[in-house]
Structure formats: C-alpha cells, structure tokens
Amino acid sequence: MRPRCETALATEWAGAELTSAKTKDVKTVFDINAITKILPHRYPFLLVDKVVEYEAGKRAVGVKSISMNEPQFTGHFPGNPIMPGVMQIEALAQLAGIVCLQMEGASPGSVFFFAGVDGVKWKKPVIPGDTLMMEVEIKSWKPKFGIAKATGKGYVDGKLAVDVKEMTFALAKP
C-alpha cells in the first residue's frame, strides 16, 4: 500500500495557471539553444538551463532545474538524493562562462577552464525538484593574460544554498 501524502497547506488552491503566472515577468535572455552556441558543454554536464538576466561583460542570473533523472542521483545518495556541491560550483562556473565567452578578447571557439575556487560555503542541500537560481559577477578580466575572476551565489526558494567568494578562469584560445 502506498503511503498517503497529507497536505498541511492552509492556503487556498491556486492551480497550475496562477502558480505559473508568478514567473510571467521573468524573461528568458538566453534559452538552452542559445546557451549551447556559447558553452561547449553537453548533456549530462550542461548545468545551465536558461539565463534570465544578463549584463554584458559583468554579470548574469541563470536557472538550473534539478531533476531526479540526472545521473548523479543514482549514487549521491541512494534514498537521499542531493546535488553534489562540486556540481553546484560547476553550474556557477558555466554561468560565468556564458558571460566570459562573450567578452572582448574571447574569440569564437574559445574555452574557459576552471583554474581555482576559494571561499565556498554551502548553506542548504539542493535536491531534485528544486530550482537553483544562480547569479555570477565578473570581478576582473585581464584579456592580455586570459584570466577572469568571478563571484557566485545560488538560491533555492529565495534562500542561499551556495556562496562562492572567488572563481578563477583561464581562457584557452582555439
């Protein structure tokens, strides 16, 4: 016999239409097709689903929808799936890559490699069904050397889940 799910909500039923309408003012800047033209990553390692805010050369806000169908959840952890922290950092790095790969000095076909990360703090688990809202800000870019530095944060339901004080990237030109 299946266990019953008891609903403890004291609010009125809103339905799919009204619930969906809560995000109607959030515009997609880059959809998944645009992202795959910028980033070299592909399934199962493409970790940015869309970009909803973008300031060229400076910052971006992106979305990662967490699904139980992702391969890491078969082993991390059986019966208690949690998005690995390193994958949260990689998702932030990919969002930073979307900004960096469109900056002056990054020619088409260039790739940014992760060169370092400092000051990481995890505040809450990210689990299947969550939407990880990420923001990154490019703090410095030295086109002569191909080095970029950025910060990043990820939120679930408006609460900080991951905070990265500094990510460093190195540009590899084609």
Catalytic residue among 76, 131, 166, 170: 76
Residue 93: CB partners within 8 Å, gap ≥ 6? 114, 117, 152, 167, 169
Can you give the pLDDT at residue 8? 55
Can you give the pLDDT at residue 41? 95
Catalytic (active site) residue 41: no
pTM of the model: 0.92
Rounded CA-CA distance 114/14 in Å is: 43
Can you give the pLDDT at residue 7? 56
- Between β-strands 59-65 and 111-122, what pairing exists: parallel, antiparallel or unpaired? unpaired
Residue 153, amino acid: K
Q: Which residue stretches of the chain have pLDDT < 50?
A: none
